[in-house]
Chain A
């Protein structure tokens, strides 16, 4: 992987990424008392994945006729 996703967002995609990060942080969260740094980092990483999933979910998929999920170039 070339560079971290936040960097891709922050530098490569720029403004859109800053918005994306704000959206993630704006999600309602349970208050977590006295989190350690590692716990906070893990929560942040989970939130990031959740935010990415939400953005992907906003893309409309056609009614499925796909024979399989696979990949080739």
Chain B
């Protein structure tokens, strides 16, 4: 009788790996089950860019052979995963989510893909994304050659971007984990909107070689998973030095919760105004509850606020300066006009007019932002913020939406932490923390550079007290 995978689709990395080692099912059976599901259900959310079933089954046979010989390679061995379609896979199309690149093929795997395959993880498919990771400033969910990323919790809503397919595929149990990338918000946002756990690593911790470049000084690659501990397992494999990525920090990552200070010795900074005024009223009760859970874990809490900088403008100009150079030939060739979103097209074209002094000034102000955030971490070890201030927006309306209604918040608080954290290269984790109107809500911890161990440990502690990360969206077979 064929194995029943209905629970396995939503199991953690370590649970599935244990079942494989116990021979409850073979890696080939597991891989075929996930490939079938990804191909059948993925298109409902416009989450699938390319199935890699044939390659995946071949690799799964190899894993089965290894397991028969009791050769184990760690918790990712035999685990099906998906990769955002900006990561190169040798000999297969890598579209960057954009029609003009539909037939692009590279002759090497991206470093992160290579590292995961090396531990026996099974790449079952490329996942959809916003075209060119949204660098041209997109304004519609449909800014992708695969159509708008739809949210498994409510398909009238957006799954977030630019790692749209990665967030949706993990939420819907189409892969056990996925790789996403973040320049400014592209892991944290889909993780929050889709109710999964996303980890944005410190800038430089994970090699970008083989990934589409959007901004050399902002791009990061990271995992989107079901739990904080799953993120740690993936990060352990993909982190590490790469002398061919000039941004590489030459560091590695190991998950060692025993080396993290106890909550009573750890201070978390937060801004009440984020939870009481900035957040959409619909999500405030869940955020307040999450704040209560964090406090109950015994952390020291301290009220803080971001220093005053034009974070959104800084990210915008730095991306414009770098993406304008990266895509200059593409823009000048006129191929840019084949993109799906007119806002992106215009945004990319306008980048070519950016004076270099404006870009350089932004980079110099950025160093002040780094200093300001460094000062913030003198008195606290982590920051706690709403991952997003709102629920997933409609997939059919412009993303800039109507102006905010109601009274202006009384202070800045930590609003702006997504661009601020990305400017400073800080790591962050988004954790599911509740629901409103049937849609997930996320809370985020932000840490000092290279303090992922602390973020994951705190995230795991939060997830021991809650079960939001175990909820499943309504999916009919």
Could you tell me which A residues sit within 8 Å of B by CB distance?
1-15, 17-18, 20, 37-38, 41-42, 44-46, 48-49, 51-53, 55-59, 61, 64, 66, 69, 71-73
Contacts and interface: CB of A to CB of B under 8 A. Distances in A.
Given A2-B184, A53-B358, A56-B313, A11 B134 contact: no
A14 B162 contact: no
A49 B316 contact: yes
Interface in B178-200: 182-189
Given A6-B137, A73-B426, A14 B278 contact: yes
Contact of B346 (A6, A45, A55): A45
A13 B416 contact: yes
Interface of B: 130, 133-135, 137-139, 160-162, 182-189, 202-204, 214-215, 217, 247, 249, 278, 309-317, 319-320, 342-343, 345-347, 349-351, 353-355, 358, 360-368, 388-390, 399-401, 403-404, 408-409, 415-416, 418-419, 424-426, 449-450
Contacts of B342: 37-38, 41
Given A11-B401, A41-B343, A48-B137, A2 B182 contact: yes
Nearest to A44: B346
A17 B268 CA distance: 28
Mostly helix, strand, loop or mixed at chain B's interface?
Answer: loop
B185 A69 contact: no
B186 A61 contact: no
B400 A56 contact: no
A14 B404 contact: yes
A18 B403 contact: yes
Contact of A8 (B185, B365, B424): B185
Given A11-B390, A12-B415, A1 B409 contact: no
B354 A49 contact: yes
